[in-house]
Copies of this chain bind each other. A is one copy, B any other.
Amino acid sequence: MFQDFKLVGDRPVAIQVKEYVKRLIIKGALQADQRLPSTREMSGLLQVSRNTVIAAYEGLEDDGFAYAIPGKGSYVAAMVGHLAAENGGTDGPAVWQIDWKARMNEYAVSAVELDRIKQGIRGKKGAISFTSIAPDEHLFDLGDVRRAFMDRMAIEGQVLLNYGYAKGYKPLIDYLMRYMENKGVDLSGKDMLITGGFTEGFDIVLSALRPSARRGAAICENPTHHTAIKNLKLQGFEITGIPMERDGMDVERLEAVLQKQTNRFDLAYLTPSYHNPTGIVMSPAKRSAVMKLMMRYQIPVIEDGFNEELRYSGAHVAPLIATAGQGNGVIYIGSFSKVLFPGLRVGWVLGDRALIDTLESIKRARTIHTSTIDQSILYQYLLNGNFDKYVKKARTEYKRKYELTKACCEAHLPEAQLSGDGGLHLFLTFPTGVNTRQLLEACTEQGVIFTPGDKFFIQEGEGTNTLRLGFSRVTDENIERGIRIIGQQARSFLKAKR
């Protein structure tokens, strides 16, 4: 014992001695209530001065790893981790073990089960991956981001680093309110909450609207954003999906579902522009029809502003919350994550003032407030005029890739029906019978991966013939090569079927 002590570097010797003995105690090499060598003995054993040992022992006592008995010496304190025998009555040393799996509730178990990232598709090293719809970081204008940070820190660094407000960073809220007003939103009676991205905003809204006494009921496009499906399920909602057509959800089906007397929906979740995963922009006629139905049945609409900024042709279609005028039935959740920088966790919830006031309290209870640094960088970046410049550049680049991907699909995957009016991905539907999970397996062998479409569908077994191709982070060469490989594999699948 005590022979492996070695002095290193320039840390105070007493601290090194203390840490050394502490480690022995933690490991169980020194037992509870065992007497430590006297300071004189220890000084000889470790080859350090006696005063050093005295200081080290005092430190151990301060830290709760030892205790002194006056006139007798220093003793090892009981480590709870080594007390199982004493408490449990079993023999030999044991440690305090809780079976955490058994303690997890339904919510926690579901969170793991529904965690697609953990069951994610992983390609071989060097594989061509169409699974991501994150932005291409090579487009990031790092200089402008740095400048935004430095500008803001110079103006109010002390404010940024101390506590902020649950509702959000005021200058950013004011800016985004104007931004939404420019999209045609009537701001009267409305307010805004800043969140750590779309997902937090969505989860907070659901946690407020989820009925207390029964399971919730939600309506949404089918397929739809898989994270939204996950969060709806986690919050206990039954989901009714409305099939997608070329120009948005099937309105007749929607009306039929709403008319059934047994159905009472707590909310609708809609992505009218660049819908994920289909990329479809809902037509003005359908928007109007859908909104009229939601109004007639008094169903609150959660609008996902996803990718609204990435339209490649024409002007923006107004968000649903704009067409609601002074009405308060739409909750708009926005984020620049797909357009700008996902690493900055900032999103916003725009809606009725009384609602936002409640959501603010929930936000405070959950996370106090969103990172002020993130919010202030985003604000200053917008204020400096970097946003328009960047979006222009990004849009040009993504449009080029979008057209390349589309052309490659048309050339190599003529069997598949394409959808996607913009954004960072295309959605493919194969003839029934082509199972895209099996196709993925074959493609993975060939070094190409993509996202099977079934995970975007509400019911198990739906969409097994679909897939999503995210192209934002794939090089031109790999887009061409990857899609050709998917095409080859798909054709052999189709041949085998016949």
Contact = CB atoms under 8 A, between A and B. Distances in A.
A114 B365 contact: yes
Contacts of A326: 81, 95
Contacts of A369: 345
A432 interface: no
B371 A115 contact: no
Interface string A330-367: 00000000000111110000001011011101101111
B146 A150 contact: yes
B145 A153 contact: yes
A126 to B, nearest CB: 19
A100 interface: yes
Give the one of A112, A359, A371 with max B CB within 10 A: A371
A346 to B, nearest CB: 9
A105 interface: yes
A33 to B, nearest CB: 11
Contacts of A377: 373
A370 B345 contact: yes
Interface stretch (A288-296, A440-448, A454-462): A288-296
A212 interface: yes
Contacts of A359: 108
Contacts of A266: 103
Given A104-B358, A142-B158, A345-B371, A184 B96 contact: no
A63 interface: yes
Contacts of A341: 161-162
B162 A142 contact: no
Chain copies in the assembly?
2
A371 B368 contact: no
A134 interface: yes
A315 B112 CA distance: 40
A18 B51 CA distance: 84
A368 B295 contact: no
Contacts of A145: 153, 157, 161
Contact of A87 (B84, B117, B295, B362): B295
Given A317-B64, A361-B118, A377-B373, A79 B325 contact: yes
Interface in A141-183: 142, 145-146, 149-150, 153, 157-164, 166, 182
A65 interface: yes
A131 to B, nearest CB: 12
B196 A367 contact: yes
Given A140-B161, A315-B59, A292 B112 contact: no
B157 A367 contact: no
A396 to B, nearest CB: 19
Contact of A361 (B79, B112, B162, B182): B112
A282 to B, nearest CB: 9
Interface stretch (A200-208, A413-421, A422-430): A200-208
A80 B364 contact: no
Nearest to A282: B64
Nearest to A66: B284
Contacts of A161: 137, 140, 142, 145, 341-344
A166 B329 CA distance: 32
B323 A81 contact: yes
A461 to B, nearest CB: 23
A157 B144 CA distance: 12
A203 B362 CA distance: 11
A318 interface: yes
A199 interface: yes
Contact of A100 (B77, B200, B328): B328
A62 to B, nearest CB: 4
Contacts of A134: 162-163
Nearest to A100: B355
A127 interface: no
A83 interface: yes
A92 to B, nearest CB: 14
A37 interface: no
Interface string A109-137: 10110110110000000000000001101
Closest 7 CB pairs of A and B: A81-B325, A96-B327, A137-B158, A64-B284, A161-B341, A108-B208, A80-B291
12 contacts: A22-B184, A96-B324, A104-B209, A105-B212, A106-B212, A108-B361, A142-B158, A145-B153, A164-B343, A200-B366, A203-B365, A371-B371
